[in-house]
Chains A and B, each alone.
Chain A
């Protein structure tokens, strides 16, 4: 078991959604909690996000999505991660995702969904609780 010195998180903006306020705020919050955060930038395809997750060997992929395209994009990201053998990477989603879509997303491989107004401390705590545990 490797003792990781820092939790590495990929903060990703998939699709054409151009709202990055939330992604940047969460990136900073994670940094302030001692994590190493790689931000993909806007307009990433699911394939680009998965490739980044592979190359950066991250523990967490945190997807921010406010465009309503989450039911298309998140399952693709989850499937891509699994195909690369990264099924144990924590896949999280935040932004504007209606409650009623959450069960299907979890089914597809998203570990947790954080709605609007979620305190960043909650997200930080969730990551700290779930990374490095088998």
Chain B
């Protein structure tokens, strides 16, 4: 089905039409010419959804947990969107998107919209368009949006720029909790989940996490705007007096996603975090920080594309690169040349 124009597509999307949503996601994912117009048209209608990010290392059962959460929210009568990202092959550009297989069930449920995304070369745990995709789902009226990262483990702080509540998922036996502490992942989690908790060592993992969180390794303050309004990058702040209310001490929840064990407790923890964000002003601070991150990221991307295109058109890019490769020109001077070229 073709849509006449962006307006028609936007209207259909906003009315909750899931075919329009699917099409809209493709458009923003591909960065098609209509993408910007589409995003501009629907952005004012975003901001209503609860966005939950799920990250953690491979094997921890993220996909199963995401599906369990999705089904739990559906049982509560909420509409759900899921964005599941898997890595693209750096060699072929193709991808095996294998998270959907965990959905299960007997009949399709249009109230659960599941979209598999390939990372398409992006690093950081998501794809470059993931935030735009989430916006589409938000604008289409999905009340809860679950975003599952690629799952390479430690480098996935990008989710912070996107989600209101972040779940970090570990499992017994992986030694994850130590790795997590080393990599700073402890700082980004709002809730820590020990999945496959029916296995030996689950209690020990949970206890270790609790201990590290008590020692202040985690996100000890809500994003108190320590770096000010101009903060760029993942929101990682030191302790600061919180504007209103107590700190958020991330809970550790044990789950067995495979059979739904602990999922209710997890839902409660998410609710409590959402309430915390709303009642303490922490949520507002985060939204501000996320906005900063997104705007700057998009601006940088647009600038880079423009730069490349200009240089390409002027036929200067190849020449510059040859100079650099031949060590006749250094990298920084080449970059300055490129930028100068744009200003001209």
Determine whether the beta carbon of B94 is less than 8 Å from that of A32.
yes
B contact residues around A5 at 8 Å (CB): 29-31, 120
Of the candidates B19, B101, B114, the one whose C-beta lies within 8 Å of that of A39 is B101
Determine whether the beta carbon of A35 is less than 8 Å from that of B115.
no
The docked-state distance in angstroms from the alpha carbon of A35 to that of B92 is 8
The docked-state distance in angstroms from the alpha carbon of A39 to that of B30 is 21
The docked-state distance in angstroms from the alpha carbon of A2 to that of B30 is 8
Determine whether the beta carbon of B120 is less than 8 Å from that of A56.
no
B291 to chain A, nearest CB (A): 27
Residue A40 interfacial (CB < 8 Å) = yes
Most B C-beta atoms less than 10 A away, residue of A2, A3, A50: A2
- B interface, size bucket: 35 or more
A15 to chain B, nearest CB (A): 13
Determine whether the beta carbon of A33 is less than 8 Å from that of B92.
yes
The docked-state distance in angstroms from the alpha carbon of A38 to that of B102 is 12
Residue A117 interfacial (CB < 8 Å) = no
Determine whether the beta carbon of B19 is less than 8 Å from that of A48.
no
Chain A: which residue is nearest B82 at the CB level?
Answer: A55
A contact residues around B216 at 8 Å (CB): none
B126 to chain A, nearest CB (A): 15
Determine whether the beta carbon of B107 is less than 8 Å from that of A45.
yes
A contact residues around B34 at 8 Å (CB): 2
Beta-carbon contacts of B71-105 to A below 8 Å, as 1s and 0s?
A: 00000000000000000110011111110110001
A contact residues around B25 at 8 Å (CB): 57
The docked-state distance in angstroms from the alpha carbon of A4 to that of B27 is 8
Stretch at the interface among A23-31, A67-75, A92-100, A101-109: A23-31
Within 8 A of B (CB), among A11-67: 27-28, 30-41, 45, 47-48, 50-52, 54-57
Within 8 A of A (CB), among B93-150: 93-98, 100-101, 105-110, 113-116, 118, 120
B107 to chain A, nearest CB (A): 6
Determine whether the beta carbon of B94 is less than 8 Å from that of A3.
no
The docked-state distance in angstroms from the alpha carbon of A2 to that of B321 is 31
A contact residues around B109 at 8 Å (CB): 51
Chain B: which residue is nearest A31 at the CB level?
Answer: B94
Beta-carbon contacts of A79-91 to B below 8 Å, as 1s and 0s?
A: 0000011100000
B contact residues around A27 at 8 Å (CB): 96
A contact residues around B23 at 8 Å (CB): 57
Residue B22 interfacial (CB < 8 Å) = yes
- A interface, size bucket: 20 to 34
A63 to chain B, nearest CB (A): 16
B contact residues around A28 at 8 Å (CB): 96
Determine whether the beta carbon of A39 is less than 8 Å from that of B18.
no
Of the candidates A33, A35, A38, A50, the one whose C-beta lies within 8 Å of that of B100 is A38
Determine whether the beta carbon of A37 is less than 8 Å from that of B92.
no
A contact residues around B27 at 8 Å (CB): 2
Of the candidates B22, B92, B108, the one whose C-beta lies within 8 Å of that of A31 is B92
Of the candidates B88, B89, B101, B113, the one whose C-beta lies within 8 Å of that of A55 is B113
B contact residues around A38 at 8 Å (CB): 97, 100, 116
Query: Given A36-B94, A55-B22, A56-B116, are A50 and B108 also a contact pair (CB < 8 Å)?
Result: yes
B179 to chain A, nearest CB (A): 29
Of the candidates B22, B93, B100, B108, the one whose C-beta lies within 8 Å of that of A47 is B108
Chain A: which residue is nearest B1 at the CB level?
Answer: A85
Determine whether the beta carbon of B95 is less than 8 Å from that of A3.
no
Determine whether the beta carbon of A48 is less than 8 Å from that of B94.
no
Determine whether the beta carbon of A37 is less than 8 Å from that of B95.
yes
Query: Given A38-B97, A54-B22, A85-B1, are A45 and B116 also a contact pair (CB < 8 Å)?
Result: no
Task: List, sorted by A's number, 25 A–B pairs whose CB atoms are closer than 8 Å.
Answer: A3-B30, A5-B29, A5-B30, A6-B93, A6-B118, A31-B95, A32-B92, A33-B94, A36-B95, A36-B97, A37-B94, A37-B97, A39-B100, A39-B101, A41-B100, A45-B108, A47-B108, A48-B108, A52-B114, A54-B19, A56-B22, A56-B116, A57-B22, A57-B26, A84-B19
Interface residues of A (CB under 8 A from B): 2-6, 27-28, 30-41, 45, 47-48, 50-52, 54-57, 84-86
Not counting A5-B120, A36-B95, A57-B26, a sample of 14 additional A-B residue pairs whose C-beta atoms are within 8 angstroms of each other reads: A6-B120, A31-B89, A31-B92, A31-B96, A33-B92, A34-B93, A36-B97, A38-B100, A38-B116, A45-B106, A51-B109, A52-B114, A54-B22, A57-B23
Which 5 A-B pairs give the minimum distances between C-beta atoms?
A51-B108, A41-B101, A85-B1, A31-B94, A57-B22
